[in-house]
Amino acid sequence: MYKEEKPKIDGMEGACRATGIPSIEKSKKEAHLKSVPNPEVSEKAKRRCYTAAYKLRILELADQYTEPGELGALLRREGLYHSNLNTWRHQRSQGILNGLKPKKRGRKELKRGPNEKEIARLRKENERLAKELKKAELIIDVQKKTSELLGITLQSRDEGEKS
């Protein structure tokens, strides 16, 4: 029932010489075919980006066509899919004008008020002054401790102002 396949010997399929050695021409062709890269492989496709004017123009053209096959011809000519038209029509009917413009990718900018720069500057200055205050308090504590060790009495600010 089943056909028995003959065992294949590398390079022996097809026409062979009477000696059983494959022809030189065939082996050269095979070597050439192995060295040539596949022309079907293309580079990574880039994402297409459509302007709002282009989308509106295509929608106007698509709405004008009434005969069978005209819309398909338009889509083939422009390289579009019917889903593109559906999406753009939905956006147009919703009045989403921003939907017809390409969206900017990445993080969105924060909307800042007119005083935001001043507030940011003041916060930064406040942090800097707080660090300086901590340093000054640390130095004063060290001075107090060294004066206690040496037995030197320091005048407080209130006493110094009275004299």
Using CA atoms, how far apart are residues 76 and 152, in angstroms rounded to an integer? 96
pLDDT digits (tens, 9 = 90+) for 141-161: 999 899 888 888 767 666 555
* 3-18 tens-digit pLDDT: 555 555 555 555 555 5
pLDDT reported for residue 114: 82
**Predicted local distance difference test score (pLDDT) of residue 77:** 92
pLDDT at 140: 93
The domain spans of the chain are: 52-100, 121-154
Residues 97-137: pLDDT tens digits?
A: 565 566 678 888 877 788 888 999 999 999 999 999 999 99
Q: What is the pLDDT of residues 30-69, one digit of tens each?
A: 666 566 666 676 677 777 888 888 888 899 999 998 888 9
